[in-house]
Structure 1
Amino acid sequence: MSTPFDRAAACPSCGAPITFRFAGAMAQVCKHCKFVVARTDRDLRAIGRVADLVEIPTPLQVGATGRWGNEPFVVDGRVQLDRAGVPGAPWQEIFIAFPSSGRWTWVAFAQGRWYATSEAPLPLNGLPPWTSLQPGGRVHLEGHGVFTVVEVGRRRVISAEGEMPYVAPPGVVTGFVDISGPRGEFGTLDYGDGRTIPPKLYLGRQFDPAVLRLDTGAPVEVPSAQVTAVACPNCGGNLPLAAPGTAERIVCRYCGTASDLSNGALTALGQVPRPPVEPYVPLGAEGQLRGMRVLCIGFVIRGCTVEGERYRWREYLLYGGPSVGYLWLMEEDGAWQLVTPLSPGEVQPMGSVATYKGQAYALKQSVQAEVEYVIGEFYWKVEIGESVRATEYQGPGGKISVEQAPTEVSVSFCAPLQGKELAAAFNLPPPPKPGLGGGEGTSTGTIVIIVIVIVIILLVALSDCGGSGGVIFVPTGGSPSFGGGK
């Protein structure tokens, strides 16, 4: 039964009036003192003060109204979170209420995709232990299905506005697990703090923002980011910044200083060795690639060791604005691939086979891939020596790449890309031939050429010395190939 202070009362922190507009809202941020005020069945309680909001672009501003399909909605609040103890850019989730039905959903935007999740009943046997889940593993939630574990981590609320159905006290660390299903399903297992905050389950799916219509008539799409610039804190060089909302680390192309980005300012961490070769696609180059406008913002050289031999390849990070997100180009021995992120739940690895869209991809190789050189702008805190387990499956139309880090897994599709198509997209001269200009390390093709030259010299020398002829086998073979991207 409702009580007189269920919907309107005074803020227990500052005394300002507070009104809960949505019956399902159980928390609200006081506009005057910025304390989160929780509604209980007895009274209102101030559970912590939030920091100032971080400027993260969204068309779904608090107070906006519209229709989701045929149902009216109102943007009632938003919360901003970060990965507790792990410095990095925060993300935000938007609380949307449907007054006519009383239901609600959380909406998030990441990597050019929109997700909506709502609270779902916990499985009868509860959530599996947080420590038992690993990125890339499978989890069965009774009554809901089988999902792929995408990320295992800890998070905390740093800021919020408006009202919400529930929010953890600001600064309190809670465990979470993000999961992905085979048909666009998405969810979060919220483990609470293990003491006073109970676990919750949120399930939903990826959706097309075209189903949303704002009453203002404005489209529901994230504004395109404008390229700005920051100055390297070491050399003062001008560094273009394409995605200030998600960029976390920038490595200066001029002096090699690595810096973390926070609130538009760079904090220098130290210098790293510059790549021994210039990237074929220059940093800052803009292109029109397969119908997408993209900017080249990062360049990485990675390598792996197989049976004592070191193999290297090059990767280019592309940014297509909020609507496209991040893509990768990968080049190895003159062969190019366009690498597009997939939802991990779309790919089902089972032993030596991975299934994607009903088709089988055969295991090709699995290696430990390490970052050797890096310059440019990146959406994670890339480091020299950073290592992931990279596994590839070959099949129809290209390769599936699965990269597993300690706390998360990423999955990509690697489609062949002709060098002439790439050159035309960025208005560049044709790419260098395989084995030429590979100053970052010796490729297999270069090794073979060197061996052949040495053999010819030895044969000539033996002939001059009257030596007898012989049969010499020159080893050939391709180097491993990998799908780019973190």
Structure 2
Amino acid sequence: MTQGKCPSCGAMVQFTAGSAQVVVCDHCQTVVARKGLDFESHGKIGSIVPTDSPLQLRAQGRFQKTAYTIVGHLQKDHGEGPWDEWYVEFEDGRTAWISESEGVFHLMFDMGTEDGVSLDDMHPGERLHLRDRAWIIEERGHGRVTAAEGQLPNDLDPTQDAWYVDATGPKGAFVTLDFGTRGHTPEVFMGEALKLGQLGISAGQLRPRVRKVELQQARCTECNGNLELRAPDKTLRVVCPYCGAMLGVRQGKLSFLRLLEKPARPLLIPLGTKGKLDGTEWICIGFLERSCTVEGIRYPWEEYLLYNASRGFTWLMNSNGHWVFLTPLPAGEVSLVPEVSAFFNGRRYKCFQTVTAVTDLVLGEFYWTVKVGERAQAAEYVAAPYSVSVDSTDDEVTYTHGEYLAPEVVQESFRLKEPLPRPDGVAPSQPNPFHGGLRSSLMWMGIWMVALFALSALITARASNTVVLDQVVTVPHTANSGTPTAMNFSEPFELTKRGNMKVEVQAPVLNDWLGIQGDLVNQDTNEVVSFYEELSYYRGTTDGESWSEGSTGGSTYLSPLPAGKYVLRTTASFTPEPGRPRDRSFTVKLTHDAPQGTWFCFALGLMVLGPLVSVFRSHSFETRRWAESNV
């Protein structure tokens, strides 16, 4: 430890961190640098502005089993409000920085400089290959140090505007390239995103979250209306619900910016309403109406900003009565093929639309300097009921993961008294209501098909399938068509049990036809069961092309016959050929108790009918969905 007197005020200052090069005097805010055994003044720096950060100097934590101490604190600002960065020193001599962003902490280690990298080549949304890893650039910005305390590794220059690029990778990986002033070789700080609990700091060492009381009950500078801010420590813009004045928030004070148009109707979720989604209680603090114009038609939608002190900010979007719950998503977690598809968490999302989104109406409070007329390129990728949305500007790209919610879910979650409007049309990420029916139909079809095949196999196994008659019948050339002279009687045969009868007939007809009238006569009861089969077969050549039609064989099934003795009587019909008398013949085969496939095919058709209807309805729904796509 090195200690001495502040060159400016004489108060005692000390260096406890071996990596520190400067320390900020607690009494006069002088930046004190050590030069050998001497201390020298490097000017003054601003005092830390109270924020909602839970971290504080000298807090001790543990990361990956190694202890560390917070020894320094910077506040930076890019003109839209300060953010905090904390300098830590590990007990093994390593140093790192902890930065905060919307409830997420990034622990980053100094990885040295990177040659051959230019700030001008860095654009949000683009891929960055650095240190053998792939990253997605999320933000390119700049800011300057406005306040500091504790011990720090470098000198401070509050007049220097430093540029940086932030990028994310898979599994929470995070990298910042600090370019300093433009044109400098960047310093690389690489680490990962962590929750507060992962920093390993005990609750007793965290700073109590003190809200800005002076802003909790602020009044509009234009109409003096009461403004009850729900997130005063995070808010940078407030829009008065009474007069529509947009107010800037800076160091606990409100300033008038401009007068905005107020919403034409009451908000579906009033500001200040609390609701529980994703296991977290949120409070609605802001409202946007955004729109896009496609082929001259304006399509508006609403976005409600939700806030939770632990989880930060998220969004609930309403478009034509369809609701989507949106949560922030690191760009590096998504593999994106622009305007084609996105891959996240093992799921493929198909590009649905790309539009220019414009902010038209604003109400409530916001964590960024929102402006009416803001434009962003917006792309949506869907895998119903989920979606991945990408909003990009020149300086920043944001990814969000969406989950479709039915209006009833939103109604119940926020305990809304008035019923929400019913959905109109089909939303990009709306789940297909017929997918479940299709899956169910296919499942039951599979079950019933197994049962059907089992039943068919059982019936086939139990059937006797006995050939009771197989004879060739000759019709003499002297017979006349359809008369008793063309009639033939078979030998008697016996059926030992009740069962159906399969009749098969075959005749060597060629460019001719033969009709066979069959009558099965029960010799005990004289009951007759009849059938008729007509066989015809023709072939020839027309314009050099051969053709044929008909068949030389046919079959039919007769209804179940009772047991008993039977005789088959057949009568042949044909076209006489004067001057060319000839004998005709045909074969008749009777199979008793033969398995019949007609019932099987009919049952199978009925089983397939349900899934076919479900497929048609599901396809129609998807057709309606993708008819709205513009890619």
User: Is residue 314 of structure 1 aligned with residue 314 of structure 2?
Assistant: no
What pairs up with 1:247-258 in 2 under 5 angstroms?
247-258=235-246
Match of 1:334 in 2: 321
How far did residue 343 of structure 1 move? 0.9
How far did residue 222 of structure 1 move? 7.1
Aligned to 1:121, the other structure's residue is in SS state strand
User: Is residue 36 of structure 1 aligned with residue 42 of structure 2?
Assistant: no
Aligned to 2:370, the other structure's residue is in SS state coil
User: Is residue 129 of structure 1 aligned with residue 121 of structure 2?
Assistant: no
Q: Whole-Å Cα distance in 1 between the matches of residues 627 and 290 of structure 2?
A: 13
How far did residue 247 of structure 1 move? 0.8
- Compute the TM-score of the two structures, normalised by the length of structure 1: 0.82
- The 3 A distance-change label for structure 1 pair 245 and 369 is same
Match of 2:158 in 1: 170
2:353 is aligned with what amino acid?
A: Q
Q: What's the C-alpha RMSD, in Å, of the aligned pairs?
A: 2.6
Kindly provide the CA deviation profile for residues 326-354 of structure 1, in whole angstroms up to 9, marking residues without a partner as x.
11111111110001011111112124121
User: Is residue 109 of structure 1 aligned with residue 100 of structure 2?
Assistant: yes
Q: Whole-Å Cα distance in 1 between the matches of residues 329 and 349 of structure 2?
A: 15
Q: Whole-Å Cα distance in 2 between the matches of residues 214 and 308 of structure 1?
A: 55
- The 3 A distance-change label for structure 1 pair 226 and 162 is closer
2:305 is aligned with what amino acid?
A: L
Contact 2:60 2:205 in 1 (8 A): no
Alignment equivalent of 2:89, drawn from 79, 91, 97: 97
Contact 2:125 2:136 in 1 (8 A): yes
- Unmatched tracts of structure 2, length 5 or more: 426-623
Contact 2:275 2:415 in 1 (8 A): yes
How far did residue 415 of structure 1 move? 0.5
Kindly provide the CA deviation profile for residues 103-141 of structure 1, in whole angstroms up to 9, marking residues without a partner as x.
122112222212101111223xx1511111111111112
- The 3 A distance-change label for structure 1 pair 194 and 15 is farther
What pairs up with 1:251-270 in 2 under 5 angstroms?
251-270=239-258
Alignment equivalent of 2:225, drawn from 237, 243, 263: 237
Match of 2:109 in 1: 118
Q: Whole-Å Cα distance in 2 between the matches of residues 480 and 104 of structure 1?
A: 53
Alignment equivalent of 2:70, drawn from 55, 70, 75: 75
1:300 is aligned with what amino acid?
A: L
Contact 1:213 1:220 in 2 (8 A): no
Stretch of structure 1 that moved more, 250-259 or 203-212: 203-212
How far did residue 176 of structure 1 move? 0.9
Q: Whole-Å Cα distance in 1 between the matches of residues 628 and 364 of structure 2?
A: 25
Match of 1:444 in 2: none
How far did residue 44 of structure 1 move? 4.2
2:23 is aligned with what amino acid?
A: Q
1:74 is aligned with what amino acid?
A: T
Aligned to 1:191, the other structure's residue is in SS state strand
Alignment equivalent of 1:286, drawn from 253, 258, 274: 274
How far did residue 9 of structure 1 move? 3.9
Alignment equivalent of 1:24, drawn from 5, 19, 29: 19
2:27 is aligned with what amino acid?
A: H
Kindly provide the CA deviation profile for residues 179-215 of structure 1, in whole angstroms up to 9, marking residues without a partner as x.
11122111211111258x8631111101233344446
How far did residue 160 of structure 1 move? 0.7
- Compute the TM-score of the two structures, normalised by the length of structure 2: 0.64
What pairs up with 1:163-202 in 2 under 5 angstroms?
163-194=151-182, 199-202=186-189
Aligned to 1:201, the other structure's residue is in SS state strand
- The 3 A distance-change label for structure 1 pair 249 and 424 is same
Stretch of structure 1 that moved more, 165-174 or 108-117: 165-174
Q: Whole-Å Cα distance in 2 between the matches of residues 293 and 267 of structure 1?
A: 31
Kindly provide the CA deviation profile for residues 16-71 of structure 1, in whole angstroms up to 9, marking residues without a partner as x.
44321010112211123212223456854433321121101333211223444533
Kindly provide the CA deviation profile for residues 253-284 of structure 1, in whole angstroms up to 9, marking residues without a partner as x.
11100000112211011211111121100011
Match of 1:51 in 2: 46
- The 3 A distance-change label for structure 1 pair 225 and 105 is same
Aligned to 1:293, the other structure's residue is in SS state strand
Q: Whole-Å Cα distance in 2 between the matches of residues 212 and 381 of structure 1?
A: 30
Match of 1:223 in 2: 209
Aligned to 1:423, the other structure's residue is in SS state helix
What pairs up with 1:359-438 in 2 under 5 angstroms?
359-395=347-383, 397-428=385-416, 429-434=418-423
Q: Greater CA radius of gyration, 1 or 2?
A: 2
Kindly provide the CA deviation profile for residues 69-102 of structure 1, in whole angstroms up to 9, marking residues without a partner as x.
533322211100011xxx311000112222x311
Alignment equivalent of 2:80, drawn from 69, 85, 88: 88
Match of 2:572 in 1: none
Kindly provide the CA deviation profile for residues 358-406 of structure 1, in whole angstroms up to 9, marking residues without a partner as x.
3221111100000111110011111111100001111264110000012
1:179 is aligned with what amino acid?
A: A
Match of 2:448 in 1: none
Q: Whole-Å Cα distance in 2 between the matches of residues 40 and 193 of structure 1?
A: 25
Match of 2:557 in 1: none
Alignment equivalent of 1:209, drawn from 193, 196, 201: 196
- The 3 A distance-change label for structure 1 pair 224 and 29 is closer
How far did residue 296 of structure 1 move? 0.5
- The 3 A distance-change label for structure 1 pair 7 and 341 is same
Percent identity between the two aligned chains: 35
Stretch of structure 1 that moved more, 42-51 or 276-285: 42-51
Aligned to 1:339, the other structure's residue is in SS state strand
Match of 2:609 in 1: none
Q: Whole-Å Cα distance in 2 between the matches of residues 313 and 221 of structure 1?
A: 40
How far did residue 218 of structure 1 move? 2.4
Contact 1:388 1:405 in 2 (8 A): yes
1:274 is aligned with what amino acid?
A: K
Q: Indicate the structure with greater helix content.
A: 2
- Unmatched tracts of structure 1, length 5 or more: 1-5, 437-475
Number of corresponding residues: 428
Contact 2:358 2:375 in 1 (8 A): yes
Kindly provide the CA deviation profile for residues 233-263 of structure 1, in whole angstroms up to 9, marking residues without a partner as x.
1111111212222211001111100000112
Aligned to 2:138, the other structure's residue is in SS state strand
Q: Whole-Å Cα distance in 1 between the matches of residues 371 and 167 of structure 2?
A: 26
**Which has the bigger relative contact order, CA under 8 A and spacing at least 6?**
1
